A and B are shown apart, each in its own frame.
Chain A
Amino acid sequence: MQREGSPWQGLGVVISKELSDQLTSIRMFVVELIVVLIAIITVSFASEQVKQTTAEDPFLLLRLFTTSQDPFPSFFQFLNLLVPLIAIALGFDAVNSEHNRRTLSRILAQPIYRDALLFGKFIAGLLTISIGLVVLWLLVIGLGLIQLGVPPSLDEVARAFIFLLVTIAYAGVWLALALLFSIVFRSAATAALVTLGLWFLFTLIWSLIAPRIALSLVQSDDLSTLIFAAQSAARLSPGTLFSEASSLILDPSARTVGPVYLYLPQLQGAVLGAPLPLDQSLLIVWPQIVGLVAGSILLFVIGYIVFQRQEVRA
């Protein structure tokens, strides 16, 4: 049976309300604090390192994002852990709080579809994270410019920008996941704990257990088959996809996202150490980027279906 009226009616209103809620919340204040802290830490440590080691490097700006110094991970590894946490913090109580405050039935009794409410919450969350990430990105680049004193090339800026977009896509996956659990679990605490559990599994221990799982499932004598299996299993985690994509985009000399000999045809005729053009780097990690976007959409759609079938009454 066809329903009448646009599913987007009220979407803009929901987005602007949710966005203003997010931006004025304590959470946003914490996020801002973290952003400034990370920017300062990243730039001060990385620029020290960069100044000492690579005076001749043509990609100084990108080194800011990729250089690590014990015990601090590099900037993008930092984001690998942190972006999911921010996304979870912004999304874990999106829908269940409306239930618990008993506002859901009142809002849904207004002339909008549930689609607008859910999509509006997702978009507003993603916009909030994007604002934070853009600020972080600008801070790092700005502080880096002051510290290093070398103007970046267009290619570097473009790579850094694509890295920003990849980070936002990565945030989208975790936001959609948090939103899904906020629909499934009526208690915000349960939703937060379950999402954090998955965060722990996928960003901290998945890379350790995925190869074992893969090897116990795949029986083969061929080493490259086994490695491929292990790598595929690791890629079920959005964190793996994100770090593969960002490490390749931020490092023009990188050619593969796995053990070199597995991708020998890809390396034929390559001059090792010579930078790749941007579009070639992008081509290598295109599947990872598509994977992140597809993951967000898939999780959102599951949440959407559950939400549509849910009873409104408390």
Chain B
Amino acid sequence: MSETVIEAKDLTKRYNGTAVVKGISFAIPRGEIFGLLGPNGAGKTTTILMLLGLSDITSGQARVLGRDPVREPLAVKRWVGYLPDQVGFYDNLTAADNLRYTARLIGLKRDEREHRIKDALVHVGLGDVADKRVLTFSRGMRQRLGLAEILMKDAQIAILDEPTSGLDPQATLELLDIIRELKHRGVTVMLSSHLLDRVQSVCDRVALFNHGNIALMGTVTELGREVLGGGFNVEVEAQGQGLGEKLAAVTGVQKVEPAGPDRWRLACERDVRPEAAVAVVAAGGRLLRLSVEEPSLEAIYTRYFQNAPSDEGGRHAA
């Protein structure tokens, strides 16, 4: 695929001897949306801060856009946009003035500054309130202002820490739209979140954090296979004679259960939709619907942490 823009190798962080992040490794290619998941205190924010050079790395290595965030933090921070958990702005300044301050810190020239600020604010839907004080802004507007800052910065990587926490459903949807828009612009996005179904809808890949380790990493489908026992559930809705037996004969199908009139649920080891379709049609049946049930991130998450604690408790004590 394309080049790697964020890379961590054995990244470790200790506070007073306690390891918070324990030698994690991952690589994120350009243009991907990568999700960090895990309970509080699992090391997500610490990992983010190390990548930004805002926290020292105890051992291991990080590379962001090919640079070392410990030695060249300015070069890294110029091209990485960061939206902290519960981002704050200067309440006594207007939205535009807040961005102006950041733009000047980045070193943008005056003309460029003004039109970029305007574009960014319009883009996140804050064009009308550009000259209002941030004091009056809701939580969702602040988050969007944070994303406007990243847009204005023309960042190649956006790192978003809990971007949707505390937002109402409408504000969450708007925010996720902006995140997708970032991806369209070719920005690599790394985000951490608790809202699992939302994360699922935007992330290309996710990493499941647990006690400073990455427990699982991959696409949601891959994780589902690993955690939920690998099965696929294919639902077939079709009219015809003896379809149940025909479907059971398809290679890869482990079990067939009737799921209502003219409906069957197939438990199988891989996605058997094409074969099932062929089977139904060959038997002279009328295929009405064929769907595969995607594993949900929520199910994966819950299942994983149900199984994990006993084993992790031991590791933590050590």
Q: A residues within 8 Å of B by Cβ?
A: 1-5, 9-10, 13-14, 17, 21, 101-103, 105-113, 311-314
Please report the C-alpha to C-alpha distance between residue A313 and residue B15 in the assembled complex, in whole angstroms: 13
- Assuming the contacts A1-B71, A3-B72, A102-B84, asked whether A110 and B105 have C-beta atoms less than 8 A apart, the reply is yes
Structural contact, A312 and B54, CB atoms closer than 8 A? yes
B103 to chain A, nearest CB (A): 9
Structural contact, A9 and B70, CB atoms closer than 8 A? no
Q: Using Cβ atoms and an 8 Å threshold, which residues of chain A touch B127?
A: none
Structural contact, B105 and A101, CB atoms closer than 8 A? no
A124 to chain B, nearest CB (A): 13
Structural contact, A110 and B88, CB atoms closer than 8 A? no
Structural contact, B54 and A112, CB atoms closer than 8 A? no
Please report the C-alpha to C-alpha distance between residue A104 and residue B82 in the assembled complex, in whole angstroms: 12
Structural contact, B55 and A312, CB atoms closer than 8 A? yes
Query: In chain B, what residue has the closest Cβ to A112?
Result: B105
Shortest beta-carbon contacts, A-B, top 5: A102-B88, A5-B74, A109-B82, A111-B78, A110-B105
A106 to chain B, nearest CB (A): 6
Q: Using Cβ atoms and an 8 Å threshold, which residues of chain B touch A106?
A: 82-84, 87-89, 102, 146, 149
B293 to chain A, nearest CB (A): 39
Query: In chain B, what residue has the closest Cβ to A103?
Result: B88
Please report the C-alpha to C-alpha distance between residue A165 and residue B82 in the assembled complex, in whole angstroms: 42
B104 within 8 A of partner (CB): yes
B208 within 8 A of partner (CB): no
* Main SS at interface, chain A: loop
Query: In chain A, what residue has the closest Cβ to B67?
Result: A4
Please report the C-alpha to C-alpha distance between residue A312 and residue B82 in the assembled complex, in whole angstroms: 13
Please report the C-alpha to C-alpha distance between residue A113 and residue B53 in the assembled complex, in whole angstroms: 10
- Assuming the contacts A3-B72, A101-B90, A102-B88, asked whether A109 and B54 have C-beta atoms less than 8 A apart, the reply is yes
- Number of chain B residues close to chain A: CB under 8 A: 35
Structural contact, A109 and B101, CB atoms closer than 8 A? no
B218 within 8 A of partner (CB): no
Structural contact, B74 and A4, CB atoms closer than 8 A? yes
Q: Using Cβ atoms and an 8 Å threshold, which residues of chain B touch A314?
A: 85-86
A1 to chain B, nearest CB (A): 6
Structural contact, A103 and B89, CB atoms closer than 8 A? yes
B236 within 8 A of partner (CB): no
Please report the C-alpha to C-alpha distance between residue A314 and residue B86 in the assembled complex, in whole angstroms: 10
B91 within 8 A of partner (CB): yes
- Contacting A at CB under 8 A, from B33-71, are 45-46, 49, 52, 54-55, 70-71
Q: B residues within 8 Å of A by Cβ?
A: 45-46, 49, 52, 54-55, 70-75, 77-78, 80-92, 101-102, 104-107, 146, 149
Partner of A102, one of B82, B87, B107: B87
Structural contact, A111 and B74, CB atoms closer than 8 A? yes
Partner of B105, one of A2, A111, A312: A111
Task: Taking A101-B89, A107-B102 as given, write out 15 further A-B residue pairs in contact, using a Cβ cutoff of 8 Å, ordered by the A residue number.
Answer: A3-B72, A4-B75, A5-B75, A9-B74, A10-B105, A105-B54, A106-B102, A106-B146, A107-B105, A109-B52, A109-B77, A109-B81, A312-B49, A312-B55, A314-B86
Q: Using Cβ atoms and an 8 Å threshold, which residues of chain B touch A111?
A: 73-75, 77-78, 105-107
B20 to chain A, nearest CB (A): 11
Q: Using Cβ atoms and an 8 Å threshold, which residues of chain A touch B101?
A: 13, 17
B286 to chain A, nearest CB (A): 58
Q: Using Cβ atoms and an 8 Å threshold, which residues of chain A touch B52?
A: 109
A176 to chain B, nearest CB (A): 24
Structural contact, A13 and B105, CB atoms closer than 8 A? yes
Structural contact, B73 and A110, CB atoms closer than 8 A? no
Q: Using Cβ atoms and an 8 Å threshold, which residues of chain B touch A311?
A: 55
B236 to chain A, nearest CB (A): 51
B123 to chain A, nearest CB (A): 19
Q: Using Cβ atoms and an 8 Å threshold, which residues of chain A touch B106?
A: 110-111
Q: Using Cβ atoms and an 8 Å threshold, which residues of chain B touch A4?
A: 71-72, 74-75
Please report the C-alpha to C-alpha distance between residue A113 and residue B149 in the assembled complex, in whole angstroms: 19
Structural contact, A113 and B146, CB atoms closer than 8 A? no
Query: In chain A, what residue has the closest Cβ to B161?
Result: A105
The 21 listed contacts between A and B (C-beta, < 8 Å) are A3-B70, A3-B71, A4-B71, A4-B75, A5-B74, A14-B105, A21-B90, A101-B90, A102-B84, A102-B86, A102-B88, A105-B84, A106-B83, A106-B87, A108-B54, A109-B84, A111-B73, A111-B75, A111-B106, A312-B54, A314-B86
Q: Using Cβ atoms and an 8 Å threshold, which residues of chain B touch A110?
A: 77, 102, 105-106
A72 to chain B, nearest CB (A): 37
Please report the C-alpha to C-alpha distance between residue A195 and residue B90 in the assembled complex, in whole angstroms: 25
Structural contact, B91 and A101, CB atoms closer than 8 A? yes
Structural contact, B146 and A1, CB atoms closer than 8 A? no
Please report the C-alpha to C-alpha distance between residue A314 and residue B161 in the assembled complex, in whole angstroms: 13
Please report the C-alpha to C-alpha distance between residue A21 and residue B93 in the assembled complex, in whole angstroms: 9
